[in-house]
């Protein structure tokens, strides 16, 4: 499955390289389709040293500090985190309208930080969009705080080193990081503020199977969810961005719940007189490292600047905002429908849903997926990134392969398709590698001491086969991934030879 995906990526890359080798079209400053040029040429601006989500602050400090050499940017250290890491403010532009963007106040929500690095590159480069950039920076002054919570980033966790959620500290202001954000807000008094987060990939755009790849919110400033002038402007900008994004991710934009949260920054900034906008990077099929979401963020944030500079958002209405489907938690990573499951000698018809979790290693820099059964029963109101109607198929717990192998190299000669067809889903190794190459294998690797049951129960990581009435195994479900056992898929079941991530 991954091999085919890799080929697809390669083809897409070749295609985009071919497109990029064409002479770029001149973009006039009034051209409404700037976003399509930004989307098309993204690779030209992408900061290629950041490849996946689990980078650290030490990876971005050189990228921020090199901006100091560029007269376009003003870079300041504006304070320190609990553990003494510097927090940076990057200023760009000379215009009257002021925009503030901060990212990664939750340490494990890195998509927007990656996009901010790309945006810095975009402004550093001199190209045929320079006139557009200059006009934008004549109109706007943009303040960026990339990575507000570097201590959380270090452990790839939401909270700061005091275990405080910075987005619940806007009023009490106990954490130095929240104090910095409040101080910068009060000094700058931005017209617009962008609060940049990641959300669970389980969110869909409405009650449907479309992932909420980007979700937006113009937060409330009171429990009544009143709409004043500032909030309305934020709603208009969101509506504009939604329309632009439909070009790239149709039906995959959602509206985050506007329940008032009196401790959060967005809600309070709205109260303090700034038009605040929350953006959440969600799921997109196969985009595990959120690199396409990063590209969409790059386009979205620059388009937000464009519409604020030109005030083109003013034609948007309240109806446009409320027409955006609500964020709903309806997606699982794998959903099997109508499976017959034997429990204590009796058959039951069950839907089975899996959720992917990340097991971390190498100081949180790497992970591999492990999956658990997250729900069982009538799941007809839910959807899956991967779905199968298993009508007529019975789940049979997988067996442990009788031979114990020394290490993963010894598996090279194992015919995985063949052993799956015999009902084996688990293999024991004397030496299990901490290596994310193996988490999507059709065989689950375990250490000798591990007890393997493969019971189909809630919160278990169960591996099983789906058996047809004639007794043949049609599918394998291993570590929450689905494998079709038809003979033609043999090529997908080889051992990976190279890492998929660092």
Phi, psi of 373 (to 5 degrees): -70, 120
Other C-beta atoms within 10 Å of 26: how many?
11
**Given 46, 53, 85, 106, the residue binding Zn ion (CB under 5 A):** 106
Number of residues that bind Zn ion (CB under 5 A): 3
CB of 459 to Zn ion, least distance (A): 25
d(CA 322, CA 302): 23
Give the H/E segment covering residue 489. none
| Burial call 227-237: b when 16+ CB within 10 Å, e when fewer | beebbebbbbb
Task: Give the range of 168-176, 189-197, 380-388, 457-465 binding Zn ion by CB under 5 A.
Answer: 189-197
Task: Give the range of 190-198, 298-306, 332-340, 441-449 binding Zn ion by CB under 5 A.
Answer: 190-198
Q: Which pair of structure tokens corresponds to residue 393?
A: 């198929």
CB of 177 to Zn ion, least distance (A): 13
Told to check if 290 binds Zn ion by CB under 5 A, we report: no
Task: Give the range of 72-80, 83-91, 99-107, 268-276 binding Zn ion by CB under 5 A.
Answer: 99-107
Task: Give the range of 86-94, 194-202, 249-257, 411-419 binding Zn ion by CB under 5 A.
Answer: 194-202
CB of 109 to Zn ion, least distance (A): 5
- The residue written with tokens 């499955």 in the block is 1
Measured from each CB, the residue nearest to Zn ion is 197
Told to check if 267 binds Zn ion by CB under 5 A, we report: no
Q: What is the 3-state secondary structure (H, E, C) of 93-149?
A: ECCCEEEEEEECCCCCCCHHHHHHHHHHHHHHCCCCCHHHHHHHHHHEEEEEECCCC
Nearer to Zn ion, 290 or 439 (CB): 290
Nearer to Zn ion, 85 or 197 (CB): 197
d(CA 166, CA 268): 13
The burial class, CB within 10 Å (0-12 / 13-18 / 19+), for 278 is buried
Told to check if 444 binds Zn ion by CB under 5 A, we report: no
Q: What share of the chain is helix, strand, coil (3-state, %, to 5)?
A: 35, 25, 40
Nearer to Zn ion, 109 or 267 (CB): 109
Nearer to Zn ion, 278 or 485 (CB): 278
CB 221 within 8 A of CB 231: yes
| Burial call 301-330: b when 16+ CB within 10 Å, e when fewer | bbbbbbbbbeeebeebeeebbeebbbbbeb
Nearer to Zn ion, 47 or 109 (CB): 109
- Which positions from 380 through 399 interact with Zn ion, judged by CB under 5 A? none
**Given 109, 118, 154, 267, the residue binding Zn ion (CB under 5 A):** 109
Nearer to Zn ion, 53 or 197 (CB): 197
CB of 286 to Zn ion, least distance (A): 23
Nearer to Zn ion, 106 or 290 (CB): 106
**Given 54, 85, 182, 197, the residue binding Zn ion (CB under 5 A):** 197
Nearer to Zn ion, 145 or 309 (CB): 145
Residues that bind Zn ion (CB under 5 A): 106, 109, 197
């Amino acid at each position: 499955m991954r091999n085919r995906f890799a080929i697809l990526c390669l083809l897409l890359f070749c295609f985009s390289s071919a497109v990029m080798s064409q002479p770029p079209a001149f973009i006039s400053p009034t051209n409404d389709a700037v976003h399509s040029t930004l989307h098309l040429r993204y690779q030209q601006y992408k900061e290629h040293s950041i490849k996946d989500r689990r980078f650290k602050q030490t990876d971005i400090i050189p990228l921020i500090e090199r901006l100091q050499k560029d007269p376009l940017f003003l870079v300041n250290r504006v304070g320190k985190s609990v553990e003494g890491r510097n927090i940076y403010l990057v200023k760009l532009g000379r215009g009257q309208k002021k925009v503030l963007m901060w990212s990664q106040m939750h340490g494990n929500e890195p998509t927007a930080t990656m996009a901010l690095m790309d945006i810095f590159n975009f402004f550093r480069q001199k190209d045929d969009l320079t006139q557009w950039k200059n006009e934008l920076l004549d109109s706007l002054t943009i303040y960026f705080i990339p990575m507000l919570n570097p201590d959380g980033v270090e452990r790839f966790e939401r909270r700061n080193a005091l275990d405080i959620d910075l987005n619940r500290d806007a009023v009490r202001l106990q954490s130095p990081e929240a104090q910095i954000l409040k101080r910068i807000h009060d000094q700058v008094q931005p017209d617009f503020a962008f609060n940049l987060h990641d959300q669970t990939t389980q969110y869909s755009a409405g009650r449907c199977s479309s992932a909420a790849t980007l979700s937006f919110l113009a937060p409330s400033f009171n429990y009544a969810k009143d709409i004043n002038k500032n909030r309305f402007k934020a709603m208009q900008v969101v509506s504009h961005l939604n329309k632009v994004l439909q070009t790239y991710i149709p039906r995959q934009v959602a509206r985050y719940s506007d329940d008032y949260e009196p401790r959060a920054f967005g809600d309070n900034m709205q109260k303090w007189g700034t038009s605040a906008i929350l953006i959440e990077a969600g799921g997109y099929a196969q985009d595990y490292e959120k690199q396409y979401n990063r590209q969409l963020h790059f386009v979205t944030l620059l388009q937000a600047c464009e519409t604020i500079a030109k005030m083109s958002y003013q034609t948007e209405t309240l109806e446009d905002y409320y027409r955006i489907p609500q964020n709903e938690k309806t997606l699982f990573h794998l959903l099997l429908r109508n499976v017959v499951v034997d429990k204590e000698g009796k058959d039951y018809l069950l839907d089975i849903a899996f959720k992917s979790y990340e097991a971390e290693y190498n100081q949180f820099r790497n992970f591999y997926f492990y999956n658990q059964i997250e729900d069982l029963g009538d799941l007809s109101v839910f959807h899956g990134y991967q779905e199968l109607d298993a009508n007529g198929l019975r789940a049979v717990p997988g067996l442990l392969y009788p031979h114990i192998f020394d290490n993963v190299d010894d598996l090279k000669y194992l015919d995985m398709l063949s052993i799956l067809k015999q009902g084996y889903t688990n293999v024991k190794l004397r030496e299990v590698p901490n290596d994310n190459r193996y988490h999507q294998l059709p065989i689950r690797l375990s250490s000798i001491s591990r007890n393997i049951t493969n019971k189909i129960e809630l919160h278990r990581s169960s591996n099983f086969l789906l058996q047809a009435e004639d007794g043949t195994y049609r599918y394998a479900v291993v570590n929450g991934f689905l494998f079709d056992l038809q003979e033609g898929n043999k090529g997908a079941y080889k051992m990976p030879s190279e890492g998929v991530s660092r």
